[in-house]
Chain A
């Protein structure tokens, strides 16, 4: 299992979602990706994108104007 970090700071939605989508394409089911953003919109958009595409959000956290989402890549 690989654990990767994606820096999506200063990008505004939907760019963090696009970057997440592109990164996930390079990963395998079961791998984890931590996405670090500054646009609060990601707290809605990335989980919605995960639900649609069969990935699981493991954790969301925020603080100091940063928003972090950890997801696990699904099998579809």
Chain B
């Protein structure tokens, strides 16, 4: 946002590109969870574009992003975030986009030293080179600390009016935002990506381990954001809705998974991922019963629905014990 504003002040025409990897935080969770309903439902990229008065192009990169996440050349960050490869990928996509749409160069809001892995002085040339953008990649917020790029050398932008911000402190950016009159300065990078989340990353690793394959579909990515995930046995996992909104969302997946719900008492919607046996179904039903109103009953009715829609009801005793074994909870 500040990078765009910096060059726009010089009369440069800027348009925004936002890449949707499937792991972006905004949007999804509020759509599902009641507890998030109080939070603003705005999409940050759209909001920023509107504040700046520029067009925004949202690009679906879900399929192409798989190869970045599954096999990152530069490895992962603190969690399953492949930030450096991700940036190289996105700048490369932006480079393709500008050449198809008649733009001259790319700007990003990167700052040297802001992020431990992907925003270091040594990563800046790597991103420029490996993305193929080379010197058509301008970082207006720290340009003065880097070699002049094509737009600076050609005089398309005045290097003197660019910045030399470094380090983790966001104070210079805050001051700049205030100078530009931008009140609700957008969320810092990283907080908008599920891959930087420890709990989400653990669920993703569990999924890959259980399937013995580092692959995923968009539906997998979505379902990892929903419900409590419990794996009582290596070959099947339960996704237990935590509230009505999640249950409604999960109902859309009943053709893809075996599902169960308690019919004698109020209880959550549950999806089963994997190949549970008849015995496993009984165990899953007794676990499900723990999360409903019948948790203290001697017996509850659990209706199990197969993917083809056929249903049967079994009677189970809710699983006893204070807590579920820790190793089951993902």
Which A residues are closer than 8 A to B by beta carbons?
10, 12-15, 17-18, 21, 39-41, 43-45, 48-49, 51-53, 65
Q: Which residues of A contact B18 (CB under 8 A)?
A: 14
Q: Is B124 an interface residue (CB 8 A)?
A: no
B27 touches A52 (CB 8 A): no
Q: Once the chains bind, are A52 and B31 in contact (CB under 8 Å)?
A: no
Task: Tell me, in angstroms, the Cα distance from A40 to B54 when the chains sit together.
Answer: 25
Q: Assuming the A-B contacts A13-B28, A14-B20, are A44 and B60 also in contact, with contact meaning beta carbons closer than 8 angstroms in the complex?
A: no
A18 touches B43 (CB 8 A): no
Query: B56 contacts A45, CB within 8 Å?
Result: no
Given A41-B43, A44-B42, A53 and B27 contact (CB-CB distance below 8 Å): no
User: B49 — nearest CB in chain A belongs to which residue?
Assistant: A52
Q: Which residue of B lies closest to A54 (CB)?
A: B55
Tell yes or no: B26 within 8 A of A by CB.
yes
Residues B55 and A18 in contact, CB atoms below 8 Å apart: no
Residue contact A44 to B50, C-beta cutoff 8 Å:
no
Contacts of A45 in B (CB 8 A): 27, 41-43, 46
Contact with A along B243-263 (1 / 0, CB 8 A): 000001000100000000000
Closest to A40 in B: B31
Contact B43 A15 (CB under 8 A): no
Supply 22 A–B pairs (Cβ within 8 Å), ascending by A.
A10-B252, A12-B32, A12-B222, A13-B27, A13-B28, A13-B31, A14-B20, A14-B26, A14-B45, A14-B46, A14-B58, A15-B20, A15-B60, A21-B57, A39-B27, A39-B31, A40-B30, A41-B30, A44-B42, A48-B46, A52-B56, A53-B56
- Chief secondary structure at chain B's binding surface: mixed
Point out residues on B near A: beta carbons under 8 Å. Answer: 18, 20, 24, 26-28, 30-32, 41-43, 45-47, 49-50, 54-60, 222, 248, 252
Sorted nearest first, the 4 A-B pairs with minimum C-beta distance are A13-B27, A39-B31, A48-B46, A12-B28
- Asked if B50 and A48 sit within 8 Å, CB to CB, the answer is yes
Q: Which among A21, A48, A53, A65 is the interface contact of B43 at CB below 8 angstroms?
A: A48
- Whether the pair B46, A12 counts as a contact (CB closer than 8 A) is no
**Cβ of A40 and Cβ of B41 under 8 Å apart?**
yes
Give the distance to chain B from A13, nearest Cβ to Cβ, in Å.
Answer: 3
Cross-chain pair count, CB within 8 angstroms: 68
Rounded to whole angstroms, the CA-CA distance of A12 and B252 in the bound complex is 12
Which one of B41, B46, B60, B248 lies within 8 Å of A52 (CB-CB)? B46
> Chain B residues near A53 (CB, 8 Å)?
55-56
Q: Are B58 and A18 in touch, CB under 8 angstroms?
A: yes
List of A residues within 8 angstroms of B30 by Cβ: 40-41
Assembly CA distance A44 to B44 (angstroms): 11
- Please state if A17 and B46 are interface contacts (CB–CB under 8 Å): yes
Report Cα–Cα, A52/B58, bound state, in Å. Answer: 12
Partner of B41, one of A10, A17, A44, A65: A44
Of A10, A15, A40, A48, the residue contacting B47 (CB under 8 A) is: A48
Give the CA-CA distance A48 to B45 in the complex, in Å: 10
The answer for the CA separation of A45 and B26 in the assembled complex, in Å, is: 11
Q: Are B56 and A18 in contact (CB under 8 A)?
A: no
Q: In the assembled complex, which residues on chain A have CB atoms less than 8 Å from the CB atom of B54?
A: 52
Given contacts A14-B43, A39-B27, A40-B41, 13 further A-B contacts (CB under 8 A): A12-B31, A14-B18, A14-B46, A14-B58, A15-B20, A17-B46, A21-B58, A44-B41, A45-B43, A48-B43, A49-B46, A52-B46, A52-B54
Say whether A17 contacts B43, CB under 8 Å. yes
Complex contact A48–B28 (CB within 8 A): no
Residue of A nearest to B53 (CB): A52
B77 → A minimal CB distance (Å) = 24
Contacts of B46 in A (CB 8 A): 14, 17, 45, 48-49, 52
